[in-house]
Amino acid sequence: MKIQINTMAELGEVIRATRKANKIRLDDLAGMAGVGPVFVGDVEYGKETAQMGRVIKLMSELGLKFTVDVPTSAEPYLEKIRKGKGLIRPSKRKAHKTTST
C-alpha cells in the first residue's frame, strides 16, 4: 500500500504500525538501526526535528521505502546535480579581523 505522508506524525504512525506488525520491540529496532530507543519513540510519536538520516535507517530496517515524487520541472536540475555539474558549494565565510585602536 502506498500512502502520502505530509507530517512527521504520519510517518511515525507508519513506522510504529510496521514495527508492531512485525512484532519487533522498540529497543530491538533501535539496536538494529544503531540508534537509541528514545529516538525511535520520538520518531514514532512524530518529533518534527528528528534527524532524517536516522529516520531513513529505521525505515530501511523495517523494509519501508522512502520515495519522493519529483516534479518534471526539477528533473533536469536533479540530473545535473547528480552528475556533479551544478553543485556549487557555498564557500566558508572568512572570519572578520577586528583591530583594536
All three cell numbers of 39: 529516538
CB-based contact 70:59 (threshold 8 Å):
no
Q: How is the chain split among helix, strand and coil, in percent rounded to 5? A: 50, 0, 50
| pTM given for the model | 0.78
Distance CA 49, CA 53 (A): 12
Give tens-digit pLDDT for 16-75. 999 999 999 999 999 999 999 999 999 999 999 999 999 999 999 999 999 999 999 999
Domain locations in the chain as residue ranges: 1-85
- State the virtual CA torsion across 36, 37, 43, 47 in degrees, nearest 10: -80
DSSP 81: H
| Domain 1-85 falls under CATH 1.10.260.40 | yes
